[in-house]
Amino acid sequence: MRLKFRYKLTYEQADKLIEKYYEGCTTVEEEKRLHGFLSQVNLPAKYKSEQTIFGYFNERKNIKSFQIPGYLRWTAVIAILFIGAFSFQVFTSNNKQNYAYINGEKISDIKVIKTHALASLSDLTNSKNEMEESIKNLNNNNIIEQQLEVFSEIK
Amino acid sequence: MNSIKKYLALMLVIGNFIIPNLQAQDDLEIKKVFDQYGEKKGVIMVELSSEMLEDYDFTLFKSITIKNNPPAADFIRKCLSKDEIGAKKVKHVVSNGIPTTIYLQLPRKGDAFRLILFNESLKPELKNTLIYIESKNDSEEALKLIIKKK
């Protein structure tokens, strides 16, 4: 791959090149550089004639500037973000799987998984009453009062 | 100013998509138990999501059973002690100064009612069972369903 290093011509260098151009001694490369220099906007008026020679003004007219409207840019950004968010959603929902790990081995047989799930539930308590009592506690706001009553009976 | 408004609107859109997808258990300490011990030997970890839990009306069921691992048991208790903050203790049984049974009703997160159930049994061997349940129904209903299905 060839790399081209472009540098700006100074007015002095440009003047020299223009002189060389009129003498018919410029190389293709030098003419290209000169062309690049003359296609700059806001050049001093003295370069106007050279600009005309190089057809800069005609070129400028023919160049159709293409700019993406601001609203379109924002729409594109929003679309990209939506796609990203949607992908994230799909990815995370796929993660909600049904699985079991038994001694480090992943099991996907749903019957086995359910059996182990039920087994873990039955491990919690062997007594049905125990669990029922716990449910009572869930919505029992008077529990503190009841516990304090025990102390009030002590004489 | 205009671009800031646009930026905020974008953030809102993204937030609406992403935030509900963050799992309700992510803020809990017990998540570390599942992450650290789930795939180790002597451990059974189960995760079931809504479609497999129609009978129970749960949206998520996660359980882990760890056998003969006292450090793991201590770690679970440590995590539970952090998750207890702000939660309602439904049941708390202490044996010889060590909590052996803990049922916690966690604050609701989004649509999810959340429960943590923990039990330690010593006989015939040391067995720690930790269950995390998410349900669209009240936690009371969730516990009732567990009893019915037992």
| Residue A30, domain member (yes or no) | yes
| Residue A36, domain member (yes or no) | yes
- Tens of pLDDT, residues B72-100: 999 999 999 999 998 888 888 888 888 98
Q: Give the best residue of B7, B45, B51, B125 to mutate against chain A (max A CB count within 10 A).
A: B45
Whole domain around residue A129: which residue ranges? 100-138
Q: How many other CB atoms sit within 10 Å of the CB of residue B99?
A: 16
Q: How many angstroms separate the CA atoms of B58 and B51, rounded?
A: 9
- Tens of pLDDT, residues A29-43: 888 888 888 888 788
Q: Give the best residue of B19, B31, B63 to mutate against chain A (max A CB count within 10 A).
A: B63
**Is A109 touching B (CB cutoff 8 A)?**
no
Q: How many angstroms separate the CA atoms of B119 and A119, rounded?
A: 13
| Residue A31, domain member (yes or no) | yes
Distance from CA of B4 to the nearest CA of A (A): 13
Q: Which CATH number does B23-149 carry? A: 3.40.1000
Q: How many angstroms separate the CA atoms of A62 and B73, rounded?
A: 79
Complex ipTM: 0.75
Q: What is the chain A residue with the closest CA to B148?
A: A128
Nearest by Cα to B46 from B54, B38, B36: B38
Q: Is A49 exposed, middle or buried (0-12, 13-18, 19+ CB in 10 A)?
A: exposed
Domains identified in chain A, total number: 2
DSSP H helices in B19-138: 30-37, 70-83
Assign A124 a pLDDT band (cuts: 50, 70, 90).
Answer: confident
Q: How many angstroms separate the CA atoms of B140 and A139, rounded?
A: 8
* Max CA separation in chain B (angstroms): 69
Q: What residue segments make up the domains of chain B, in order of their start? A: 23-149
Contacts of A121 in chain B (CB under 8 A): 63, 131, 146, 149-150
Interchain CB contacts (distance < 8 Å): A and B: 124
The most confident of the ranges A77-86, B32-41, B43-52 is B32-41
| Residue A73, domain member (yes or no) | no
